[in-house]
Amino acid sequence: MKRSILWFRNDQRLADNAALAAALATSQEVLPVLIMEPRQAAASPYGFSRLGDRRAQFCHEGHVDLDARLRATGSALLVRRGDPASILQELASRWGTRTVHAQRLFAWEEQQQQQAVAAVVDLRLNEANTLLHADDLPFSLERLPHVFTAFRKTVEKDFTVRHAIPEPAHIPTPQDWVDAARSDDSALYTPAPSDPRAVLRFTGGSSAAQERMAHYFGEAEHLGRYKETRNGLLGADYSSKLSPWLATGAVSAREVYHAVKHYEQQHGANESTYWLIFELLWRDFFQFSAAQHGRRIFLRNGLTGKSITATTDARRFAAWCEGRTGQPFIDANLRELLHTGWMSNRGRQNVASYLVHDLGLDWRMGASWFERMLLDYDPCSNWGNWQYVAGVGHDPRVGRRFDPVRQAAMYDADGAFVKLWT
C-alpha cells in the first residue's frame, strides 16, 4: 500500500492544491498533517510575539474549516505542534512511508525549513501559491527584473495563467489516522473581541473565502468600480479584502484570477478588472523577489545594501504602535490595525512612510509590528512593501514620503475615517 504524507503549510484549501493533487496521483493513501511551529509565535527582536491573537485565531479558524472539508471527503487533518522536520520524520516512520508532499514557499525561513525537512524525508515540493507558475516565467528567478514595471511588462507579453485544479471528492485516508486526528490549537491564542467598527468580520478558511469571492465578484458594482474605490478607507467593498485568505492559502491566486475572468464574461472587462489582476502581479513580484533575495528582504540595508540611519527609540515606536503619535490620520489607521487586524493599502503606505520619514525609526520595527498584527501577514508582501517604502527595496525612486495632512485631505476629506477611530 503506497502512502504519502500531505503536509499543509500556507495552503488551507482542497481546491487548486497542487500538493494534494500530487499526493492523490502517486499514492493510494494520503495522510494530511498541519504543523504549528513555535517559531511563528516566538518573540520578535522588539519584545512582542510575532503572532498576535487575531491572526492566530484567523489561522485556527482556517484549520477547523480545512479539517471539516477533509472530513467531508473521508479524510481528516492532524494538527501537531513542534519542529516540522522531527514531526514529519516521526510520522513517516510510524506510518510506513518516506514521501511527503507539500507546497513550496519562497520566504527565507520557510526555505530553511524545506531544507531541514528534505534532509530527513523524501520531500516533494509543489508549486507555490502564485498567479504565474515559476516555470512559466520568461526568465529564471535569479534574473527577476529589479523594477516591478519591467517585470509586469515582460510577463504581460505572453500572459499564461494555468487552470485551477478541481477539488477532489474523495481523499483516501486510513481510518485509524482519521480517528487519531483530534487536535486543538485554540489554546494558542486568547480570542479577541470583534470590534463593531471593523470593515469586515474576517473568518479564516476556504469556506469563508469562497463566500467573500461570491460577494465581491457576484455583483457588478464591486469589482466593476475597483480602480476608483481601491484607495478607500471605510466599508467592506472598496477593495476585495481577499488578502487574509490569500496569505493563508484559503484561496489561490489562480482561483481569484479565474473568478475575475468569469466576472468579465458576465459584466465585461474594464480598467478595474485589469487592475485587480495587476495587484495580483504585485503579489507575485514580491513572492519571486523573496525567492531571489533570501535573507536580504529582512536586512536593514535591504536589497540595495546602501547604509541608512535610523533610530530604535522605544517610546516613539510604542506611540506609533498604539496610534498615539498625535497625527490624526496616522493614528486612526494604526488604531484600526490594533483593534481589528486590518488596515487599508492607503493606510499602510501612510503609516509606513510616517514611521520611516517622520519618526526616523528603523523600518524593520514597523514591519515586525505588521507581522504581529496583520490578519493578512505574508512575509514576502510585508517585508517587500516595507523595504519599498523605506527606499531599500525595489523602488527606483528613494525618499518617497507621504504627507499625512495632504493624504487625509485627499482620501478622508470629510474626516469620517479619523472620527471613527478617535
Ligand X SMILES: Cc1cc2nc3c(=O)[nH]c(=O)nc-3n(C[C@H](O)[C@H](O)[C@H](O)COP(=O)(O)OP(=O)(O)OC[C@H]3O[C@@H](n4cnc5c(N)ncnc54)[C@H](O)[C@@H]3O)c2cc1C
Task: Give residues in contact with ligand X (CB under 6 A).
Answer: 230, 239-243, 246-247, 276, 279-280, 282-283, 286, 344-345, 348-349, 352, 370, 374, 376-378, 381-382, 385-386, 389
The strands making up 99-103's β-sheet, listed across from edge to edge, are 78-81, 29-36, 3-8, 99-103, 122-126
> Do 170 and 74 contact (CB within 8 A), yes or no?
yes
CA–CA separation, 102 vs 22, rounded Å?
Answer: 9
What is residue 361's DSSP assignment? B
Nearer to ligand X, 102 or 247 (CB): 247
What is the CA angle 343-346-350, rounded to 5? 95
> Do 225 and 272 contact (CB within 8 A), yes or no?
yes
Residue 295 beta carbon to ligand X: minimum distance, rounded to whole angstroms: 18
Buried-exposed string 221-247: b where 16+ CB fall within 10 A, e elsewhere: ebbbebbebbbbbeeebbbbbbbbbbb
Residue 265 beta carbon to ligand X: minimum distance, rounded to whole angstroms: 20
- Supply 204's cell numbers: 479564516
Residue 286 beta carbon to ligand X: minimum distance, rounded to whole angstroms: 5
Residue 253 beta carbon to ligand X: minimum distance, rounded to whole angstroms: 7
Nearer to ligand X, 17 or 349 (CB): 349
Number of Cβ within 10 Å of residue 52's Cβ equals 23
Nearer to ligand X, 121 or 276 (CB): 276
Task: Give me the DSSP letters along 5-22.
Answer: EEEESS---STT-HHHHH
CA–CA separation, 10 vs 356, rounded Å?
Answer: 30
Nearer to ligand X, 339 or 348 (CB): 348
Residue 128 beta carbon to ligand X: minimum distance, rounded to whole angstroms: 13
Nearer to ligand X, 327 or 382 (CB): 382
> Do 280 and 253 contact (CB within 8 A), yes or no?
yes
Nearer to ligand X, 154 or 345 (CB): 345
Nearer to ligand X, 48 or 282 (CB): 282
Residue 366 beta carbon to ligand X: minimum distance, rounded to whole angstroms: 7
Place of cell 522531527: 86
What kind and span of H or E run contains 288? helix 271-293
Length of the chain as a residue count = 422
Q: Strand, coil or helix: what is 49?
A: strand
What kind and span of H or E run contains 335? helix 328-340
Residue 94 beta carbon to ligand X: minimum distance, rounded to whole angstroms: 36
Residue 196 beta carbon to ligand X: minimum distance, rounded to whole angstroms: 20
> Do 191 and 57 contact (CB within 8 A), yes or no?
yes
Residue 285 beta carbon to ligand X: minimum distance, rounded to whole angstroms: 8
Nearer to ligand X, 30 or 223 (CB): 223
Residue 330 beta carbon to ligand X: minimum distance, rounded to whole angstroms: 13
Nearer to ligand X, 386 or 417 (CB): 386
What kind and span of H or E run contains 29? strand 29-36
- Gyration radius (Cα) of the chain, Å: 21
Nearer to ligand X, 65 or 237 (CB): 237
Nearer to ligand X, 203 or 381 (CB): 381
Short-list 302, 298, 284, CA closest to 139:
284
Residue 281 beta carbon to ligand X: minimum distance, rounded to whole angstroms: 8
